[in-house]
Structure 1
Amino acid sequence: MNVGELTAIDVHTHAEISKDGHTSLAPELFGASAGYFGSHDKPTIDQMADYYRERKMAAVVFTVDAEHATGHPRISNEEIAESCARHPDALIPFASVDPWKGRAGAREARRLVEEHGVRGFKFHPSIQGFAPDDPLAYPLYEVIEELGAVALFHTGQTGIGAGVPGGAGIRLKYSNPMLVDDVAVDFPHLKIILAHPSFPWQDEALAVATHKPSVYIDLSGWSPKYFPPQLVRYANTLLKDKVLFGSDYPVITPDRWLADFAKLDIKPEVRPKILKDNAARLLGLAPTPTSTEDPR
């Protein structure tokens, strides 16, 4: 991956369909999501690679393993990693392991990093039905921290289950970013991303990210024109090195996100940090020199 030639790194995209047509969520949950975000296509990972390559961008790709809470089998982490490996210029594989799998899940996480090149793990506490500070997830965090991978947590309200009776059993309280603060304390070297503007807990997310050196915020899931003013203010100042571009593709396209971001009052020197530089540093992606001259 030639980071120097990229215009942006999108740290938040979803693989929603497998090679054999299996979806990442049950149909009723996808239906609720479509009602919340609007309907959208479910691109294959190869199609996602083409989409981002055309825009000279890279994208982090993951699914959500919530089989314990939903009963719906996940898309294979190995399939996602292998599909991303076909497109190393454009795609960065993350995985998802249900925290309810305990030490078996921790062993799986180690294998995914060491054998499949996975760089991080997606958690969706509300869909997975766990509190981030529950010790059941700690064996998984231990492995992720040890291997230098990233833990990305959904925070705030979710469109998944919205409008379904009882929210399809999805409890919003598990996605309060203050629950991740305990994780940042107990695993001080674990690289953490708080995903989304964390409605209704935006101030809590800002507090955690400013207090804990290893905690970042991604801006996915919302059009920038709806960002709370305090999020924009912190992104411009105290958190300028810890805020990341994310779209939530395919429910929100990077084209739409970037068009709205261009109208946001962000300092010129901060824009490249948010769009690419902060993510490149967090993910350990070193720019590839474009010159053929002998450096000596």
Structure 2
Amino acid sequence: MNIDELVAIDVHTHAEVSASGEGSLSKELEEASAEYFKVDHGHRKPTLDEIGALYRSLKMAAVVFTVDAESATGTEAVPNEEIAEAARRYPDAIIPFASIDPAKGRAGARQVRRLVEEHGVRGFKFHPNVQAFFPNDRMAYPLYEAIEEAGAISVFHTGQTGIGAGAPGGGGIRLKYSNPMFVDDVAVDFPGMKIILAHPSFPWQDEALSVATHKPQVYIDLSGWSPKYFPPQLVQYANSLLQDKVLFGTDYPLLTPERWLADFDKLPIKDSVRPKILKDNAARLLGLA
């Protein structure tokens, strides 16, 4: 991957469908999130090859992952290995991350080591709402230990989620799990593990800013929201104290990079900070710089 040729690195995109055509969410949750984000149902589930081709055409790289929440949802995830294989087909466009259900404990930790050593996976995605766990639950600690030992990155969904939004009872999704203060415990207990707090963390934006300011290995990505809706304190911190720790992310396919960038252009971000957010911070975090 030639970093100099990239215009941006999107640190948050989803593999929504496997080679067999199966997704990682139930039909009810998929439909609710598509409605929440106003996504055309026909474009809700791009294949990995379509993701690679899109980002290659945009001269961007994309961190791609699935969400393994099988114990909570009963639905199998898109196989992590398929994402790693797609990264080999699109080495200029796809950066492989993985997801392992925290309920898998030490068996999951063995998967972490195998995916990093054999498949070049660089990080792991956790979605506390969908996986139904608090990030500081000791159940997940064997996975964190393996991730830290491997030098990989952990990404935690934070704040409200569009998954289940509008469905009866929110599709069974509980918002309480995604307060970033629970990730603060993880940052204390695993100081060698780099962490990304995904999304503007409504209604806990100040908590996320506090954790990222206090813990040197904690970053924030800007995915899941159009920039025109960013809380003002997030923009302020991105322009100042956290300018080296804020990352471009879309949540594709729920938001397209074209739409996100068009709205980001209208934000009062300093000229000196824009390239950090769009590419430089991620390149350094991912070890690509």
TM-score (norm. length: structure 2) = 0.98
Query: Aligned equivalents of 1:127 and 1:219: distance in 2?
Result: 20
Q: Could you tell me which amino acid in structure 2 is paired with residue 116 of structure 1? A: H
Q: Quick check: 82-91 or 226-235, which moved more?
A: 82-91
- In the TM superposition, structure 1's runs of 4+ consecutive aligned residues that sit over 4 Å from their partners are none
Distance 1:39 1:190 in 2: 34
For residue 14 of structure 2, what is the aligned residue in structure 1? 14
Return the match for 1:285 from 271, 274, 288.
288
Report the Cα distance in structure 1 between the residues aligned to 2:53 and 2:167, rounded to whole angstroms.
34
Look up the match of 1:133. Answer: 136
What is aligned with 1:95?
A: 98
Which one-letter code corresponds to 2:63 in the other structure?
A: V
1:211 and 2:179 correspond: no
The equivalent residue for 1:291 is: none
CA distance in 2, matches of 1:96, 1:221: 18
Partner Cα separation in structure 1 for residue 173 and residue 46 of structure 2: 26
CA distance in 2, matches of 1:52, 1:76: 21
User: Does 1:116 find its partner at 2:84?
Assistant: no
Checking the alignment, whether the CA contact within 8 Å between 2:52 and 2:86 is kept in structure 1 is no
The equivalences for 1:174-189 within 5 A come to 174-189=177-192
Partner of 2:56: 53
Q: Distance in 1 between matches of 2:35 and 2:263?
A: 22
Q: Give the match for residue 30 of structure 1.
A: 30
Deviation at 1:39, TM superposition (A): 2.5
What SS is found at the alignment partner of 2:32? helix
Q: Give the Cα–Cα distance (whole angstroms) in 1 for the partners of residues 167 and 52 of structure 2.
A: 33
Report sequence identity in percent.
76
* Count of residues paired in the alignment: 286
Q: CA RMSD in A?
A: 0.7
Please give the alpha-carbon distance, in whole angstroms, between the structure 1 residues aligned to 2:39 and 2:243.
33
What's the CA shift for 1:43? 1.1
Query: Which stretch shows the higher mean deviation, 18-27 or 119-128?
Result: 18-27
Structure 2 unaligned regions, length at least 5: none
CA deviations 1:156-208 (Å, max 9, x no partner) are 00011112222122110100000000000000111000000000000000000
1:271 correspondence with 2:274: yes
**2:34 corresponds to which letter in structure 1?**
A
Secondary structure of 1:60's partner? strand
User: C-alpha deviations, 1:59-113, integer Å up to 9, x for none?
Assistant: 0000000000000111111111111211111100000000000000000011000
Larger radius of gyration: 1
CA–CA distance in 1 between the matches of 2:169 and 2:134?
19
List per-residue Cα deviations over 1:255-294 (Å, max 9, x = no partner): 00000000100000000000000000000003xxxxxxxx
2:29 aligns to what SS in structure 1? helix
d(CA) in 2 for partners of 1:218, 1:198 = 10
Q: Secondary structure at the match of 1:251?
A: coil
Gaps of 5+ in 1: 287-296
Normalised to the residue count of structure 1, the TM-score between the two structures is 0.96
Instruction: For 1:170, give the aligned amino acid.
Output: I
